[in-house]
Amino acid sequence: MAATSLSRKSFYVYFTDRFDLLTQLVDPLREERDAIVERLLAQDDAAAGGREALLALARLYAEHGVVLRALAEASGQDEEARRAWRGFVEPVVAGHADWIRREVARGRVRGVDPEPTARALIGMNLQYFFDTLVGVEAPDVEGAAETLLVVWSRALYAA
C-alpha cells in the first residue's frame, strides 16, 4: 500500500486480508489451468494431449507467470502465501498422480511411484516455466512445451 496512493483502509474495502488478495489474483489463473489439465487428463492419447496441455500451460505462464512466480517465492516466507501456493499446486500433483496410476494399470507405464513422480515432474514444469518464460521478452512457448513433452515422455514411457 505504501507504493500506491491508496490508504491502508482502502485495501480492506476490496480485500478482507492478504490471503483474500492472493486468492483473487490466483483464482482466475487456477480456473484456466484447471480447464487445461482436465482436458489433458480426460484424453486417452497422452502424447497429443500432453503436447496440447503443455503448450496451453506455457502460454499461461508466459502471460501470467510473474504473479505465480511471486506467489511461489513468497510461499517460502509467508504462511498465507504458502497456503495459496499449495492450493494452486497440490490439485495438479494429485490429478497427475491419478493419471499415472491409470497409465500403470493399463500397462503403459512401469517402474514409477505415481505420487512422487507426478510431484517431481510438476515441480520441473513450474521451475522450467519460471526460468524460460517469465519475464522473457520473446518467450519460446512452443519450444518450452516441446522440451517438457520430451522429458515427460521419456520419464514415463521409456523402456
Query: Which of 159, 133, 135, 158 shows the shortest CA–CA distance to 54?
Result: 133
Task: Record the pTM.
Answer: 0.85
Domain count, the chain: 1
Look at residue 54 and tell me if it is in a domain: yes
Domain of residue 139 covers 17-157
Look at residue 121 and tell me if it is in a domain: yes
Query: Which of 156, 84, 74, 82 shows the shortest CA–CA distance to 122?
Result: 156
Q: Tell me, what amino acid is at 76?
A: G
- What is the per-residue pLDDT across 103-142, written as a single tens digit (0 to 9) for each? 999 999 999 999 999 999 999 999 999 999 999 999 999 9
Grid cell listed for 66: 510473474
Look at residue 2 and tell me if it is in a domain: no
- What is the per-residue pLDDT across 87-97, written as a single tens digit (0 to 9) for each? 999 999 999 99
Look at residue 84 and tell me if it is in a domain: yes
Look at residue 33 and tell me if it is in a domain: yes
85: CATH: 1.10.357.10
Placement of cell 490466483 in the chain: 26
Look at residue 63 and tell me if it is in a domain: yes
CA separation, residue 32 to residues 43, 48, 83, 112 (Å): 18, 19, 19, 29
